[in-house]
């Protein structure tokens, strides 16, 4: 196999995370940050961190573990100040890694910086080498520290907005960032808007978050998505925010997998409610691949909205299918996907999911999941449901076959682990021992999201990426984004 340069961060890990930022009028930001991180826990369970600023100095707590375990009431009391940022980090197949817990914070000549990053840069190694040659010393292997050093360097020469613009012109790849420079909280989204980031209004301030569900948790109102290439600067007194469109491109590269799997169904991302998208994708799945069986069952939890949309469309079409919760999930079992060995992954699926015998016994059954990656879940489930007495087991998948890795921030396993990388759907059907297997088409995804193929990142299902990645094909002419002229606040 040809040697591929690893465009994930230098340690081979990618940053698949949730970020928040809060600026309030006269009340400490620690608790709103804590609650919003709680709402984003699904985006990262390896580490959690909060950095606040009280007008004089930073306060920080960043630890390995879940949000509820990392912070107790005393910790939150000590995180003083009305502005702050927070981060939850996704676990990776490489195991725990304390060095990359975030937010990353640093003090330097022009003040203090804190950075929380969701995404993955494709040129972090190059920038890091350049900065090292200039004498910068790095303490971690992650992309985030590279961004922090570059920004700190620019801040020695430029004002905040120009410094961010210069850093954005240098870094390539996907990034949704919340940044603290002294007590100012900033939000930045990469010029193709690969990862989500939105702005919310609270009674006494503003919040930035990867997903709108975090804003709901704070009883806030979603104002809008941060635009691709836009910098948002929250006023330190919580009174508003300024917008600067720093980089412009004609196209976007929104990650479709956020809608299919990663985001919460109750979040609105780039103007679409994820729940509605998944239900509509379920409807399309019926239209494209439907087969009438006695029962339609979701693989909990991610298959649920697809399955309800599928069953509803089936019945509206004159079929007679029962939508049933026939698989019970043990919610105390962690994520099976990242277990290090195949044997452990298989055991974990069995621990996690159990069929309700009476729902499937003597019946023809369709199970619906959002995606097949390695094929572990589907193989195990088909076997279990047959053992529980099903007459036929059909599998329907709410995404196209995953044929290539993700370089943009979602842990997708490596190419040689992806079952669809070198197998046809019929070969996969045989391997999972299903009576039939069908996936949703790429066109259906684009139709439901109401975007052209060229405005989505479809790299994992096409093997062609919207970013310039060595050893991979690109699906568009890769042009470095134009640096916008506007540094005047817009009217938002």
Q: List, by residue number, the catalytic residues.
A: 17
Binding of residue 371 to ligand AMP (CB under 6 A): yes
Considering only CA atoms, which of 236, 238, 234 is closest in space to residue 56?
236
How far is 54 from 433, CA to CA, in rounded Å? 59
Rounded least distance, CB 402 to ligand AMP, Å: 8
Q: Which is closer to ligand AMP, CB of 34 or CB of 439? A: 439
Rounded least distance, CB 256 to ligand AMP, Å: 12
Binding region for ligand AMP (CB under 6 A) out of 225-233, 286-294, 370-378, 444-452:
370-378
Among 183, 284, 370, 475, contact with ligand AMP (rule: CB under 6 A):
370
Q: Residue 477: CB partners within 8 Å, gap ≥ 6? A: none
Other C-beta atoms within 10 Å of 201: how many? Answer: 17
SS3 360: helix
Rounded least distance, CB 8 to ligand AMP, Å: 13
What is the x/- site pattern for ligand AMP, positions 345-364, by CB under 6 A?
--------------------
Sheet-wide strand order for 104-108 = 104-108, 111-121, 173-181, 184-189, 230-234, 241-245
How far is 91 from 217, CA to CA, in rounded Å? 24
Binding of residue 372 to ligand AMP (CB under 6 A): yes
Rounded least distance, CB 398 to ligand AMP, Å: 9
Alpha carbon 97 to its chain centroid, in Å, reads: 19
Rounded least distance, CB 194 to ligand AMP, Å: 15
Considering only CA atoms, which of 198, 163, 169 is closest in space to residue 181?
163
Binding region for ligand AMP (CB under 6 A) out of 27-35, 94-102, 135-143, 408-416:
408-416
Rounded least distance, CB 305 to ligand AMP, Å: 12
Q: Which of residues 78-117 bind ligand AMP (CB under 6 A)?
A: none
How far is 444 from 251, CA to CA, in rounded Å? 20
DSSP lists the bridge partners of residue 273 as: 268
Joined together, the tokens standing for residue 214 give 């975090």
Among 299, 434, 456, 460, contact with ligand AMP (rule: CB under 6 A):
299
Q: Which is closer to ligand AMP, CB of 127 or CB of 410? A: 410
Burial 136-173 (b: 16+ CB within 10 A, else e): beeebbbbbbbbbbbbbbbbeebebbebbbbbbbbbbb
Among 51, 410, 437, 457, contact with ligand AMP (rule: CB under 6 A):
410
Considering only CA atoms, which of 444, 409, 149 is closest in space to residue 283?
444
Q: Which of residues 313-342 bind ligand AMP (CB under 6 A)?
A: 335, 337
Among 27, 347, 374, 451, contact with ligand AMP (rule: CB under 6 A):
374
Among 112, 217, 293, 377, contact with ligand AMP (rule: CB under 6 A):
377
Binding of residue 369 to ligand AMP (CB under 6 A): yes
Sheet-wide strand order for 436-439 = 322-323, 295-298, 364-369, 392-397, 436-439
Residues at the site binding ligand AMP, with contacts judged by CB under 6 A? 261, 299, 302, 335, 337, 369-378, 410-412
């Amino acid at each position: 196999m040809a040697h591929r340069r690893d465009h994930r961060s230098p340690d081979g890990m990618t940053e698949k995370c949730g970020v928040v930022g809060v600026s309030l009028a006269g009340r400490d930001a620690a608790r709103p940050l804590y609650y919003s991180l709680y709402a984003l826990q699904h985006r990262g369970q390896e580490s959690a961190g909060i950095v606040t600023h009280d007008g004089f100095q930073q306060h920080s707590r960043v630890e390995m573990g879940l949000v509820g375990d990392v912070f107790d009431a005393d910790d939150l009391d000590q995180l003083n100040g009305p502005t702050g940022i927070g981060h939850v980090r996704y676990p990776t197949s490489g195991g725990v890694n304390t060095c990359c817990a975030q937010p990353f914070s640093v003090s330097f000549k022009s003040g203090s910086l804190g950075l929380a990053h969701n995404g993955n840069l494709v040129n972090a190694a190059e920038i890091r080498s350049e900065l090292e040659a200039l004498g910068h010393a790095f303490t971690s292997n992650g992309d985030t520290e590279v961004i922090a050093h570059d920004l700190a360097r620019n801040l020695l020469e430029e004002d905040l907005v120009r410094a961010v613009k210069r850093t954005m012109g240098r870094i390539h790849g996907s990034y949704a960032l919340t940044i603290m420079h002294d007590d100012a909280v900033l939000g930045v989204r990469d010029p193709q808007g690969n990862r989500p980031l939105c702005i919310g209004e609270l009674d006494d301030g503003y919040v930035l978050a990867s997903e709108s569900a975090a804003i709901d948790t704070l009883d806030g109102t979603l104002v809008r998505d941060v635009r691709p290439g836009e910098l948002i600067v929250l006023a330190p007194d919580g009174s508003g925010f300024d917008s600067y469109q720093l980089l412009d491109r004609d196209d976007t590269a929104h990650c479709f997998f956020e809608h299919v799997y990663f985001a919460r169904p109750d979040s609105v991302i780039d103007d679409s409610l994820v729940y509605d998208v998944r239900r509509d994708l379920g409807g399309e799945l019926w239209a494209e691949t439907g087969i009438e069986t006695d029962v339609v069952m979701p693989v909990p939890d991610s298959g649920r909205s697809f399955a309800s949309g599928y069953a509803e469309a089936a019945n509206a079409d004159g079929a007679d299918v029962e939508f049933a919760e026939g698989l019970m999930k043990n919610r105390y079992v962690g994520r099976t996907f990242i277990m290090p060995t195949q044997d452990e992954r298989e055991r974990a699926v069995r621990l996690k999911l159990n069929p309700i015998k009476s729902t499937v016994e003597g019946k023809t059954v369709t199970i619906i999941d959002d995606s097949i990656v390695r094929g572990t879940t589907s193989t195990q489930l088909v076997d279990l449901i047959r053992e529980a007495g099903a007459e036929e087991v059909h599998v329907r998948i709410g995404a196209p076959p995953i044929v290539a890795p993700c370089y943009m921030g979602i842990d997708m396993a490596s190419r040689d682990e992806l079952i669809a990388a070198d197998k046809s759907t019929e070969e996969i059907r045989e391997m999972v021992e299903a009576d039939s297997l069908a996936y949703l088409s790429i066109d259906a995804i684009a139709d439901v999201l109401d975007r052209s193929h060229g405005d989505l990142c479809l790299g994992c299902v096409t093997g062609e990426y919207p970013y310039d990645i060595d050893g991979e094909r690109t699906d568009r002419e890769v042009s470095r984004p134009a640096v916008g002229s506007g540094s005047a606040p817009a009217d938002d």
